[in-house]
Amino acid sequence: MSGTESTRTGRSAAASGRPARADARRNRDSLLAAARDAFAASSDAVPLDAIARAAGVGIGTLYRHFPTREALVEAVYAAELDQVVSSAPTLLDELEPAAALRAWMSRYAEFFKIKRGMSDTLRAGWASGSIATPATRERITATIAMMLRSGAEAGSLRSDVDPEDVTMMLLGVFLSTTATDSPDKVDQLLDLIVDALRPCLSDH
């Protein structure tokens, strides 16, 4: 292949977007991080240009990656849910099961807060079908089940608890504290849940 042909082929690949450029990936990651922080900080609709500024890019770059608000919200939600679920095995490697579960609950609480900032767009998108409906409840409950099994095997968590009940308790905590927005109260209630999941002394 001649130098001219090679140059032409390179230009063609770049024009078609193959492979994705490193700076484009960085821009996308920066936009997701900025959007995540913005949604966590406010329950009101955050202007997209504010997210672009926080990411250090122009609004045109945002729209190239995420043509609509729904596309951005869907990407943030999916990434956060994946991180919540994938954090559990790492925590279990680093901490004993009861402590890992408590740390994971804090991560889940953070996800719920971010979700709250996207709630209007999510509800409208799920209703219209413009945003895919994720299996959030199922994935969260499966993660809790895995952590409970690990704790039961270690003897630090009860073996007779339905993971779905724990999911419901956590949602109850998050929903009931939304109006007060008190992290200390959330921490206190999460501590109580973990205490309730520990084996009774009479079980030993």
What are the structural domains of the chain?
Answer: 19-67 (1.10.10), 70-204 (1.10.357.10)
Burial of 71 (0-12, 13-18, 19+ CB in 10 A): middle
Residue 100: alpha-carbon gap to chain centroid: 17
Q: Give pLDDT, residue 201.
A: 61
Sole residue written with tokens 């951005």? 72
How much is the average pLDDT of 190-194? 97
Contacts for 5 with CB less than 8 Å, ≥ 6 apart: none
Q: State the pTM of this model.
A: 0.82
pLDDT for 56-90, tens place per residue? 999 999 999 999 999 999 999 999 999 999 999 99
pLDDT for 140-158, tens place per residue? 999 999 999 999 999 999 9
CA distance linking residue 116 with residue 119, whole number of Å: 5
How much is the average pLDDT of 159-168? 97
